[in-house]
Amino acid sequence: MAIGVLNLWDITDELIQLLNSHKGGASFTVTDRSPDEIRNLSDGTYLSLYLFHVSPDKFQRNTLPVAPSPTSERTTRAFRSPHQPLSLNLHYLLTAYAKGVDASRNEQQAMTAALKCFHEQPIVTATIPDDNHSVEFTLTLEPETADEIGRLWQAITASLRLAAIYKVSVVLIEPPSPLPTLAKKPDTINLAVSPTSLPFASAGQVIGTYIRVNYIAPGNKPQSYELIPSVVAPGQSFTIYGAGLNQSSSSNSLYLLFADGTEQDVTDWISQANETRLLLNLPTTGIPAAGVYQLRVGNAVAIADPGAIRSNATPFSIAAFVDPTGGPVLNPAGSTYTLNGQGFSPGTVEVLLETVPVTPEQLTVSSTAINFQLPNNLPNGVYGVRVRVNQVECHPAKWVVKS
């Protein structure tokens, strides 16, 4: 919340507007020019409100500032300079000037209207246009001796005229914000929690799978996101978390569980192991087709053997691989776009451009390539190419630009 002004002219302009709205039937022009300058203006009656002096306000210069805080709108915490606002008194010379036989009468009429206006408006509220906040200040007619006024007019190098001096107080010059700059919003949040070993799973338990997906977006901008449970493409690494893992007697083997209840020993996927996590590498060959599966740990004994030990199971998905080679923007050959990769199963592949599906008639699929044409009446724009195989979506890799 702002507490002052950035430009002293805002105060002067407010006073000029106040005088213009309280002329009381008199005819004169209000200006901020100095008394010697208005003598060179065209004929007429002029009321000069000239800011000729600025002084510090001794009563406010060391007081606690009013400033925003994170917990309330206003606080009285003290700040070091320059965060302490500069408190000022503004001194204005108010005088009138007219030409002609009625000059004296017109000058006194203009001064009377100004004195009456300021007397009836001792407290002024000004709206600061920079951020539309309001400030208040007082108008005080300063008692000055004839000698002091005479010395002032001599400094102006203009002949003495009817004049008054007004003090405007207190005006605060807006300081820099005392609050620290807000931190950027985080791009990634990681939460690591050590799992609690359940009493019935002392032989090993699994709690979930995790993968960070890295890709290059249009404009060659590196991006990433995390998936729990994991969606893993051939050749990628992912992690399975748990407790009591890697025990030679009960949990040093890894098993892939199929929907029909059968299992496959995939212990060779493990590249690193400790008690709470297994780092896995999904091979590029000899793996099941894209789909949703489960993983569990156990001992190296076949499931049909009475001595077999198996943990609970946790889900993960195998996705087809879309090759990002050549950059994120996919360029066509004529009207045909080609995606290269691995694990594309004909008959199970869906291609979408953002949310617009490519029809089967516009799609040709082999195990390593997908050829497609753009849907009819597709508006111009940039579209992410989404590939689903067996309802498992591939990681982002390619975009189409239609112009």
What gap in Å lies between CA 46 and CA 97, rounded to an integer? 5
**Averaged pLDDT, 62-83:** 51
**What is this structure's pTM?**
0.55
**What does residue 170 show for φ and ψ, rounded to 5 degrees?**
-100, 140
The residue ranking higher by pLDDT, 143 or 373, is 373
Report the amino acid identity of residue 121. Q
User: Where are the CATH 3.30.2000 domain residues in the chain?
Assistant: 9-173
What gap in Å lies between CA 198 and CA 225, rounded to an integer? 30
Tens digits of per-residue pLDDT, 210-228? 999 999 999 888 999 999 9
Burial of 145 (0-12, 13-18, 19+ CB in 10 A): exposed
Whole-number pLDDT of residue 158: 74
Task: Please name the helix (run of DSSP H) or strand (run of DSSP E) that holds residue 294, with its range, or none.
Answer: strand 291-298
Q: Please name the CATH architecture into which domain 199-319 falls.
A: Sandwich (2.60)
Pairing of strands 381-389, 349-353: antiparallel
Instruction: Give the domain 322-402 fold.
Output: Immunoglobulin-like (2.60.40)
Whole-number pLDDT of residue 48: 92
Pairing of strands 356-357, 349-353: antiparallel
CATH class of this structure's domain 9-173:
alpha beta
121 pLDDT band, cuts 50/70/90, is very high
User: Where are the CATH 2.60.40.10 domain residues in the chain?
Assistant: 322-402
